[in-house]
Amino acid sequence: MKRFRRHGQESQRDRLKQELFQFNKTVEHGFPHQPSALGYSPSLQLLAIGTRSGAIKLYGAPGVEFMGLHDENAAVTQVHFMPHQVELVTLLDDNSLHMWTLRGHKGLSELLEIGRFTLTGPPGAPPSVTRVTAVLAHTSGELLLLGTEGGHVFIVEVPGFRELEERNISLDQVAASVPDDYIGRRNLEHVEALQENPINPNQVVIGYGRGLMVIWDLEKRCAIQHIPATQQLESVWWTEDGSYILSSHSDGSYCRWMVGGEDVNDEEEKSDIPYGHFPCKAISKIIQLPTEEGPPFLLFSGGMPRASYGDRHCITVIHCKTHVALDFTSRIIDFFVIRDGLQHTGDPSALVVLVEEELVVIDLQTDCWPVIQTPYLVPLHSSAITCSHHVSAIPLKLWERVIAAGELQNTHYSKKPWPITGGQNLAPDPPQRDLLLTGHEDGTVHFWDASGVCLYPLYKLSTAGVFHTDADPNDNMNQGAEGEWPPFRKVGCFDPYSDDPRLGIQKIHLCKYSGYLTVAGTAGQILVLELNDEAAEQTVEAKVVDLLQGQEGFRWKGHTRLDVREEPVLFPPGFQPFALVQCQPPAVVTALTLHSEWKLVAFGTSHGFGLYDYQQKNTVLIKCTLNPSDQLAMEGPLSRVKSIKKSLRQSFRRIRRSRVSLRKHHVNNTAKLQEANARLEAELAEMELAPVQRKIEARSSDDSFTGLVRTLYFADTFLSDSSHNTPSLWAGTNGGCVFAYMLRLPPVEHRADEPVTAQPAKEIQLMHRAPVVGIVVLDGHGAPLPEPLEVAHDLARSPDMQGSHQLLVISEEQFKVFTLPKVSAKMKLKLTAVDGSRVRRVGVAWFCSSRTEDYGESGLVVLTNQGDVHVVSLPHVKMQVQYPCIRREDVSGIASCVFTKHGQGFYLISPSEFERFSLSTCYLVEPRCLVEAPLHSGSSSQRRSQPDGASSTHRTRQDSEDAEVLQEIQKSLEGDQTSFLENNVKSAVA
Partner 1 sequence: MNKNHRVQSSRSLSAVEVKSKFGAEFRRFSLDRSKPGRFDEFYGLLQHVHRIPNVELLVGYADVHGDLLPINNDDNYHKAISTASPLLRLFLQRKEEADYTAFGTDSLTRKKNTVLSAVLLRPDTNRKKPPVIISLPRDFRPVSSIIDVDILPETHRRVRLYKHGQEKPLGFYIRDGSSVRVTAQGLEKLPGIFISRMVPGGLAESTGLLAVNDEVLEVNGIEVAGKSLDQVTDMMIANSHNLIITVKPANQRNNVVRSGGGGAASGSSGRSSDSGASYYGYSSQAAAASMPTHIIQNFPVDELESDDEDLVIEAGGEAEPIRRAPSNYSMPSLPRYEPHLNLRTATTSVSRRSLEEDGTVITL
Interface contacts to partner 1, rule CB under 8 A: 691-699, 701, 720, 742, 759-768, 770, 813-814, 816, 823-825, 827-830, 832-838, 865-866, 878-879, 888
Between residues 824 and 979, which has the closer beta carbon with respect to partner 1?
824
In the complex, the smallest distance separating the C-beta of residue 733 from partner 1, rounded to whole angstroms, is 13
In the complex, the smallest distance separating the C-beta of residue 448 from partner 1, rounded to whole angstroms, is 34
Angle between helices 937-944 and 949-973 (to 10 degrees): 170
In the complex, the smallest distance separating the C-beta of residue 825 from partner 1, rounded to whole angstroms, is 5
Between residues 264 and 696, which has the closer beta carbon with respect to partner 1?
696
In the complex, the smallest distance separating the C-beta of residue 745 from partner 1, rounded to whole angstroms, is 18
Q: Any idea what DSSP says for residue 358?
A: E
Question: How, if at all, do strands 358-363 and 348-355 pair?
Answer: antiparallel
In the complex, the smallest distance separating the C-beta of residue 758 from partner 1, rounded to whole angstroms, is 11
| Burial of 367: CB neighbours in 10 Å, binned 0-12, 13-18, 19+ | exposed
| Burial of 986: CB neighbours in 10 Å, binned 0-12, 13-18, 19+ | exposed
The SS3 call for residue 483 is: coil
Euclidean distance between CA atoms 31 and 438, whole angstroms: 15
**Torsions phi, psi for 979 (to 5 deg):** -60, -45
Euclidean distance between CA atoms 621 and 570, whole angstroms: 31
Euclidean distance between CA atoms 382 and 498, whole angstroms: 10
Asked if residues 334 and 354 have their Cβ atoms less than 8 Å apart, the reply is yes
Sign of CA dihedral 14, 20, 21, 26: positive
Between residues 765 and 798, which has the closer beta carbon with respect to partner 1?
765
In the complex, the smallest distance separating the C-beta of residue 86 from partner 1, rounded to whole angstroms, is 44
Between residues 439 and 774, which has the closer beta carbon with respect to partner 1?
774
Report CA dihedral (879, 882, 885, 887) to the nearest 10 degrees.
90
Smallest CA-to-CA distance from 768 within 738, 739, 736, 740 is with: 736
In the complex, the smallest distance separating the C-beta of residue 698 from partner 1, rounded to whole angstroms, is 4
Between residues 436 and 743, which has the closer beta carbon with respect to partner 1?
743
Residues with Cβ within 8 Å of 256's Cβ and at least 6 positions away in sequence, in order, are 244, 245, 246, 268, 269, 270, 271
Between residues 286 and 758, which has the closer beta carbon with respect to partner 1?
758
Asked if residues 682 and 743 have their Cβ atoms less than 8 Å apart, the reply is no
Euclidean distance between CA atoms 299 and 364, whole angstroms: 11
Euclidean distance between CA atoms 809 and 818, whole angstroms: 8
Asked if residues 115 and 98 have their Cβ atoms less than 8 Å apart, the reply is yes
Euclidean distance between CA atoms 494 and 124, whole angstroms: 48
**Torsions phi, psi for 962 (to 5 deg):** -55, -45
294, HSE (Cβ side, Cα atoms, 13 Å): 11
Query: How many residues does this entry show for the chain?
Result: 990
Alpha carbon distances (Å) from 96 to 51, 91, 590, 634: 15, 6, 49, 57
Alpha carbon distances (Å) from 959 to 82, 248, 341, 577: 15, 37, 20, 62
Between residues 841 and 916, which has the closer beta carbon with respect to partner 1?
841
In the complex, the smallest distance separating the C-beta of residue 685 from partner 1, rounded to whole angstroms, is 18
Between residues 615 and 629, which has the closer beta carbon with respect to partner 1?
629
In the complex, the smallest distance separating the C-beta of residue 812 from partner 1, rounded to whole angstroms, is 9
Between residues 201 and 875, which has the closer beta carbon with respect to partner 1?
875
In the complex, the smallest distance separating the C-beta of residue 718 from partner 1, rounded to whole angstroms, is 14
In the complex, the smallest distance separating the C-beta of residue 453 from partner 1, rounded to whole angstroms, is 35
Between residues 660 and 767, which has the closer beta carbon with respect to partner 1?
767
In the complex, the smallest distance separating the C-beta of residue 38 from partner 1, rounded to whole angstroms, is 40
In the complex, the smallest distance separating the C-beta of residue 836 from partner 1, rounded to whole angstroms, is 3
Euclidean distance between CA atoms 747 and 29, whole angstroms: 46
Euclidean distance between CA atoms 597 and 463, whole angstroms: 24
Residues with Cβ within 8 Å of 647's Cβ and at least 6 positions away in sequence, in order, are none
Stated as kind and residue range, the H or E segment containing 671 is: helix 670-689
The SS3 call for residue 361 is: strand
> What value, to the nearest 5°, has the Cα angle with vertex 502 and ends 733 and 577?
85
Euclidean distance between CA atoms 777 and 765, whole angstroms: 17
In the complex, the smallest distance separating the C-beta of residue 112 from partner 1, rounded to whole angstroms, is 35
237, HSE (Cβ side, Cα atoms, 13 Å): 21
**Torsions phi, psi for 560 (to 5 deg):** -90, 170
Between residues 334 and 812, which has the closer beta carbon with respect to partner 1?
812
Between residues 199 and 827, which has the closer beta carbon with respect to partner 1?
827
Smallest CA-to-CA distance from 466 within 579, 388, 545, 604 is with: 579
Asked if residues 520 and 526 have their Cβ atoms less than 8 Å apart, the reply is yes
Between residues 693 and 979, which has the closer beta carbon with respect to partner 1?
693
In the complex, the smallest distance separating the C-beta of residue 700 from partner 1, rounded to whole angstroms, is 8
Stated as kind and residue range, the H or E segment containing 964 is: helix 949-973
In the complex, the smallest distance separating the C-beta of residue 78 from partner 1, rounded to whole angstroms, is 40
Buried b (16+ CB within 10 A) or exposed e, 120-138: ebeeeeeeebbbbbbbbbb
Between residues 454 and 766, which has the closer beta carbon with respect to partner 1?
766
In the complex, the smallest distance separating the C-beta of residue 867 from partner 1, rounded to whole angstroms, is 12
Between residues 551 and 832, which has the closer beta carbon with respect to partner 1?
832
Between residues 456 and 815, which has the closer beta carbon with respect to partner 1?
815
In the complex, the smallest distance separating the C-beta of residue 34 from partner 1, rounded to whole angstroms, is 28
Alpha carbon distances (Å) from 168 to 210, 803, 855: 20, 84, 66
Between residues 130 and 865, which has the closer beta carbon with respect to partner 1?
865
Between residues 527 and 809, which has the closer beta carbon with respect to partner 1?
809
